[in-house]
């Protein structure tokens, strides 16, 4: 009340002056117009204590009403804030109760049997886990400084590279498979030649040199639990299996999984690889044919096909490339023992007809036939149906093949489902995410492996689908995620083995439509994949295992090259692929541990007047 009195004492003189001014103004107007207007009597103003006059009381009522309204507004606002605060507390309490109930339900659920590559649950720990369910960490880490999407070779190479440069890094790998990171090449090679009946469970195999190893890069003990990733003292690598990233919020630096959970990140790598292609004629054939068709790519596909090969009488492989030819040779050798009929069909004139020159493709086809495979070249599938318990394949030339099971090995389609939500560019010619020289697609996002479409300074824009590229691109992406800023200049290699006796390594662009020059020599017992692995100690030939550098001063053989005539045995040799008279690709046929030399030849990008002299760098004529 004292404050109101003081304010009135200040405002009263102003109001009095204003009232007098208005009276004088009206009087002047009346004198000019000779008209009288009713004038309100002059108010009696007072600067004394309130309550002395009725007008003073009116002013006080106005001021009081203003203060009362402000008080009511403040009280209402504070009450609403208190209610919202209480609602928020109730929501947080309800979340903790829900987590506790889910944890208790998870503990009471039966523990499924897992393979050596899956994360296992210890039954003996369920009782203590139930007791601590209310305080257990969330199933998913809410944040991962390094998030790797995909659980293949490229993701594992990146994780190892990140940890090498940042020992305390916390790396989370999210994969839609239920297995820990593993290498894919043995799925179509060594695993099929194992004599161990438990190989489909253990996934351990003997290499051509007799040494045993697992298909997994590291045992489960190497990884930390995803729930403990944010708490582990020195960081680590965690693998979240059975989850798929379906949406990326690149502005908010977070991803959404297929169960609607979200994970934020600082740096992200997309290493989603690809999915095996299928023929449209097989897709249109119906559910019955689909049940008798395998698209070979993952561990589960290997286990499924291995089981089928022991139960059926015939298997038909559609595709004549690397995968199709490797599986044909592997199943063909097995067929000699079990009586299984193995058929391989493809539209080309010979095995790997899109890669090898025609004469070498024909020789390879004969080699595959000797492995017990019924090879059907120039076979274009026109119609497929399921009749009388058999899959019936009709070819364009009228031939009909009846089989129990089909394996489609017709290439790979890069996985680019995240392109739309992430705003990433997909290459229209080669597929895959377009990246810069540092394998970066945009700020804080890198791409490696099969899904990356990169620019090769020597060969132009490319996309490569091989193990060595996955290793090296993943490793470089990991380095760049930690600030290395290195360009990708590596010429990746790939290899294929048609059993323990015939194999080749290749680099660059190897396309049978290009002009080729082949230089061959007679093979010796040491010129086989088996002998090569005995010397190197490993069957996984890549830059991750062999780091030799070509010096350009390789020992040169002094003997003269001899090119085999048509029909002769192509024991070993070098095939050069040319574009504008420059070597852009090289295949080392049964020649091993010479890849650094081939890499240097392509890197130099020079014209060679006599490739026979260049072939001497590989010492193919030495006994």
Q: Compute φ and ψ for 340, nearest 5 degrees.
A: -70, 135
Q: Compute φ and ψ for 53, nearest 5 degrees.
A: -150, 160
| pLDDT at 137 exceeding the cut of 90 | no
pLDDT tens-digit map of 294-334: 999 999 999 999 999 999 999 999 999 999 999 999 999 88
What is the distance between the alpha carbons of residues 371 and 334, in angstroms, rounded to a whole number?
9
Strands 405-408 and 400-403: unpaired
Residue 108 · residue 101 · CB < 8 Å? no
Helix or strand holding residue 295 (H, E)? strand 293-295
What is the distance between the alpha carbons of residues 602 and 587, in angstroms, rounded to a whole number?
12
What is the distance between the alpha carbons of residues 298 and 240, in angstroms, rounded to a whole number?
17
| pLDDT at 134 exceeding the cut of 90 | no
pLDDT tens-digit map of 430-455: 999 999 999 999 999 999 999 999 99
From residue 333, how far is each of 60, 203, 341 by CA, in Å? 107, 19, 11
Q: Left (φ > 0), alpha (ψ -120 to 50) or beta: where does 431 sit?
A: left
Which residues are CB-contacts of 593 (< 8 A; sequence separation ≥ 6)? 532, 535, 536, 546, 548
| pLDDT at 424 exceeding the cut of 60 | yes
Spell out the domains of the chain, with CATH numbers in brackets. Answer: 143-181+217-273+415-482 (3.50.50.60), 277-411 (3.50.50.60), 493-618 (3.30.390.30)
Closest CA to 508 of 575, 447, 413, 437: 575
What is the distance between the alpha carbons of residues 321 and 348, in angstroms, rounded to a whole number?
10
Q: Which of 93-102, 247-256, 309-318, 543-552 has the lowest mean pLDDT?
A: 543-552
How many C-beta neighbours within 10 Å does residue 291 have?
Answer: 10
From residue 540, how far is each of 158, 185, 213, 257 by CA, in Å? 18, 8, 11, 33
Which residues are CB-contacts of 353 (< 8 A; sequence separation ≥ 6)? 320, 346, 361, 512
What is the distance between the alpha carbons of residues 276 and 324, in angstroms, rounded to a whole number?
12
What per-residue confidence (pLDDT) applies to 61? 77
Q: Which long-range contacts (CB under 8 A, 24 or more apart) does 120-129 make?
A: 120/220, 129/103
What is the distance between the alpha carbons of residues 107 and 131, in angstroms, rounded to a whole number?
10
DSSP code at position 133? G
What is the distance between the alpha carbons of residues 219 and 22, in angstroms, rounded to a whole number?
96
| pLDDT at 4 exceeding the cut of 60 | no
Burial class (CB in 10 A: 0-12, 13-18, 19+), 428: exposed
What is the distance between the alpha carbons of residues 327 and 112, in angstroms, rounded to a whole number?
31
Residue 532 · residue 504 · CB < 8 Å? no
| pLDDT at 515 exceeding the cut of 90 | yes
What per-residue confidence (pLDDT) applies to 560? 44
Torsion sign, CA atoms 85, 86, 90, 96 = positive
Q: Which of 19-23, 258-262, 463-467 has the lowest mean pLDDT?
A: 19-23
- Average pLDDT, integer, range 143-172: 97
Global pTM exceeds 0.75: no
């Amino acid at each position: 009340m004292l404050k109101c009195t003081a304010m009135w004492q200040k405002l009263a003189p102003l109001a009095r002056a204003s009232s007098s001014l208005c009276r004088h103004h009206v009087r002047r107007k009346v004198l000019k117009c000779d008209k009288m207007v009713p004038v309100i009597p002059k108010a009696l103003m007072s600067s004394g204590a309130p309550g002395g006059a009725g007008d003073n009381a009116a002013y006080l009522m106005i001021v009081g009403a203003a203060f009362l309204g402000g008080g009511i507004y403040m009280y209402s606002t504070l009450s609403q804030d208190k209610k919202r605060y209480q609602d928020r507390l109730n929501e947080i309490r309800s979340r903790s109760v829900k987590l506790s109930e889910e944890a208790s339900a998870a503990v009471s659920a039966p523990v499924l049997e897992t393979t050596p590559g899956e994360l296992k649950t210890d039954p003996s720990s369920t009782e203590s886990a139930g007791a601590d369910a209310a305080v257990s960490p969330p199933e998913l880490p809410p944040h991962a400084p390094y998030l790797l999407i995909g659980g293949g070779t490229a993701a594992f190479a990146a994780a190892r590279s990140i940890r090498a440069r940042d020992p305390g890094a916390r790396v989370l790998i999210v994969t839609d498979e239920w297995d820990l990171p593993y290498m894919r090449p043995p799925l179509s090679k060594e695993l099929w030649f194992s004599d161990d009946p438990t190989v489909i469970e253990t996934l351990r195999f003997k290499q051509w040199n007799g040494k045993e190893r697992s298909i997994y890069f590291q045992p489960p003990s190497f990884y930390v639990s995803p729930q403990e990733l944010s708490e582990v003292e020195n960081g680590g690598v965690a693998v979240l299996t059975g989850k798929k990233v379906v949406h990326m919020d690149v502005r908010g630096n977070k991803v959404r999984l297929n169960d609607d959970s979200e994970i934020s990140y600082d740096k992200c790598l997309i290493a989603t690889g690809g999915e095996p292609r299928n023929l449209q004629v097989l897709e249109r054939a119906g559910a019955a044919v689909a049940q008798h068709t395998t698209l070979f790519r993952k561990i589960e596909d290997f286990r499924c096909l291995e089981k089928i090969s022991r139960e059926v009488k015939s298997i038909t492989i559609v595709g004549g490339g690397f995968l199709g030819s490797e599986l044909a040779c592997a199943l063909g050798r097995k067929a000699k023992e079990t009586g299984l009929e193995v058929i391989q069909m493809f539209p080309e004139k010979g095995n790997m007809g899109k890669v090898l020159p025609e004469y070498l493709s024909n020789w390879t086809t004969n080699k595959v036939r000797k492995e017990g495979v019924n090879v059907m070249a120039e076979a274009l599938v026109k119609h497929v149906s399921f009749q009388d318990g058999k899959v019936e394949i009709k070819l364009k030339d009228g031939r009909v093949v009846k089989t129990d099971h089909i394996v489609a090995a017709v290439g790979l389609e890069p996985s680019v489902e995240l392109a739309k939500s992430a705003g990433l560019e997909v290459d229209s010619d080669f597929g895959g995410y377009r990246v810069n020289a540092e394998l970066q697609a945009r700020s804080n996002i890198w791409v490696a492996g099969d899904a990356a479409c990169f620019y090769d300074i020597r060969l132009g824009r490319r996309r490569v689908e091989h193990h060595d590229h996955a290793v090296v691109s993943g490793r470089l992406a990991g380095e760049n995620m930690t600030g290395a800023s290195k360009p990708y200049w590596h010429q990746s290699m790939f290899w294929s083995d048609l059993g323990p006796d015939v194999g080749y390594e290749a680099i660059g662009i190897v396309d049978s439509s290009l002009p080729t020059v082949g230089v061959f020599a007679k093979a010796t017992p040491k010129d086989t994949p088996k002998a090569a692995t005995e010397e190197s100690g490993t069957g996984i030939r890549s830059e991750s295992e062999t780091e030799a550098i070509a010096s350009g001063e390789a020992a040169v053989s002094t003997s003269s090259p001899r090119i085999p005539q048509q029909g002769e045995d192509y024991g070993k040799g070098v095939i050069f692929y040319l574009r504008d008279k420059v070597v852009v690709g090289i295949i080392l046929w049964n020649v091993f541990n010479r890849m650094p030399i081939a890499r240097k030849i392509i890197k130099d990008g020079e014209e060679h007047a006599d490739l026979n002299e260049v072939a001497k760098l590989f010492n193919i004529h030495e006994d």
